Structure 1
Amino acid sequence: MTLDGLTVPLRALRLLAVDFPHLPAPDVDVSPIFPEWLRLSFHDTSGESLAAFEQWRTALRIAPEAVDSRTQSAGRTRVLKAEGQFAGAGIVLTAYADQPDVDRAPAGQAGGAR
């Protein structure tokens, strides 16, 4: 595949930058493995990534009920994920944030919810 094969998600990214310059900057992933998809992700430990996810979800008009909420890393990380469409590209939004109610014991020691 050539770069031309990624035209759809790259065009969507360009339009997102023009239409939503005021929104928080995501990590961006465009891949020849999934050439029709643009992935936007948000990572932090403070929970601000969840707020950024919601701002983007709202801007892209992805319904709240389309959001999948789960945890990973033995319940220590909250993950939000939603898919939608923008400018002909599939959009995947993902946010990762530390769970505030999980004891952060050092590696090798027991830890759990408070």
Structure 2
Amino acid sequence: MSALTVGEQGPTITALAQLLADFPHLPAAHIEIGRILTRDGYALGVGIMLHHATGGTLADFEAWRQSLAIAPEAVGMRPAAADQVIEAHGRYAGVAVHVRCFTRLAVPLAVAA
């Protein structure tokens, strides 16, 4: 995978600017642009991450999901250490979008002895 130029990231920067204009009320999140994880591998897009350690909640995730018109059926869940990751993939302004929320597991995973 070769390195991108800033020019090649143009569509993701434009999508992010459009996101800010369309949804200034959404909760703050860690946002990345460039190559992001999608259901099919990697693509140019916008990654949005919410984390319980920085105040991110499932309600914040849901606000992002609804605003980006990502179907509830596109939401998945997986364990990650002591956290649970709720994530959804979609498209916005012509680019891939990956929204993730790291929440505490209700019951910690068993640690192998």
TM-score in terms of structure 2 length: 0.79
Partner of 2:104: 98
Deviations 1:31-65 (A, max 9, x none): 35756211011011497432111100001110111
From the superposition, tell whether residues 2 and 21 of structure 1 become closer, same or farther in structure 2 (CA, over 3 Å): same
Deviations 1:60-85 (A, max 9, x none): 11011100112121xx2110111111
1:1-114 equivalences in 2 (<5 Å): 1-31=4-34, 36-45=44-53, 48-73=56-81, 76-102=82-108
Moved more, 6-15 or 27-36: 27-36
CA RMSD, 1 decimal: 2.4
Aligned partners of 1:32 and 1:22: how far apart in 2? 26
Aligned residues: 103
Aligned-residue offset at 1:28 = 0.8
Normalized per residue, the structure richer in strand is 2
Unaligned runs of 5+ in 2: 37-41
Which sections of structure 1, spanning at least 5 residues, go unmatched? 104-110
TM-score normalised by length of structure 1? 0.78
Query: 1:67–1:81: 8 Å Cα contact kept in structure 2?
Result: yes
Larger Rg: 1
- Against the structure 1 CA distance between its residues 15 and 46, is the aligned structure 2 distance closer, same or farther, given a 3 Å change threshold? closer
Per-residue deviation, residues 15-35 of structure 1 (Å, max 9, x unmatched): 110110001011011135756
* Separation (CA, whole Å) in 1 of partners of 2:91 and 2:10: 15
- The percentage of counterpart residues that share the same residue type is 32
